[in-house]
Amino acid sequence: MLFDPKFRSQFQDIRCYDDKEVGLAIAHPEFQSAISNLLGSLFQIDGVAMSRLFRAKTLDDVTAWIVQELVSIVETTTSGMQISGLDTLSKDQAYVFVSNHHDIAMDPILINLALTRNGFPTCHNAIGDNLLQNHLSQEVAKFNKCFRVNRTTRSPKAMLLSLKHQSEYIQYLNRELNQNVWIAQQEGRSKNRNDVTNPALIKMLSLST
């Protein structure tokens, strides 16, 4: 999936990598060393699997690798995963998925696993900038189709501009590039089964319509 110049220029501050950038970025020795140490310690990913990741040339190559390599973790650490409702959706149409979340790292993986198992393209994922505090986390996010959501701005005017920018990005992905998007229905993890969508999220999505 290649992006037009608008993607690089207008959304430079929040966007993920585009396909032309993936190969160059993933080949950087410092990134390969850091990501090998991270995934090796967290998920026991071996060197053979890591070498397959480092040959990725597109965003879809990276997300396909993530889904493939982490499927076994899902299958061995949970009692099961049930998926329903996707049979009512068209595979030719792009969607904005809104849901609760419990783990910002695993949630997109589970959603993409559900989508790919049912023949749908994977999602672009919203992630708060409070979770992108170092270079490695920012790089991992860019490779995993994540876009930055402003959680740290407190000025009402700046926040409104940020929300409008975010809305334009989601609409651009969804309508112009026909890409699926996932975003959590409220800031923070779901607690006490209080899975209610924040009205501000609905307002944000409509800012650029």
Q: Looking at 7-16, 88-97, 182-191, 194-203, which range is the least confident one?
A: 182-191
pTM, full prediction: 0.88
User: Looking at residue 45, what is its pLDDT?
Assistant: 85
- The token pair that represents 30 in the structure block: 């410092």
- The residue-averaged pLDDT of 60-86 equals 83
Over residues 184-201, the pLDDT tens digits come to 887 766 666 667 788 888
What is the rounded average pLDDT of the residues 76-85? 82
Between 80 and 209, name the one with better pLDDT. 80
Measure Cα distances from 163 to 2, 132, 145, 176, 206 in Å: 25, 18, 19, 19, 10
Task: Return d(Cα 74, Cα 77) in angstroms, integer.
Answer: 5
Mean per-residue pLDDT for 127-156?
89
Residue-wise DSSP of the chain: ----HHHHHHTTTT----HHHHHHHHT-HHHHHHHHHHHHHHH---HHHHHHHTT--SHHHHHHHHHHHHHHHHHHHSS-----SGGGS-TTS--EEEE--S-TTHHHHHHHHHHHHTTPPPEEEEEEGGG--SHHHHHHHHHTTEEEE--S---HHHHHHHHHHHHHHHHIIIIIS--EEEEESSSS---TT-----HHHHHHHHTT-
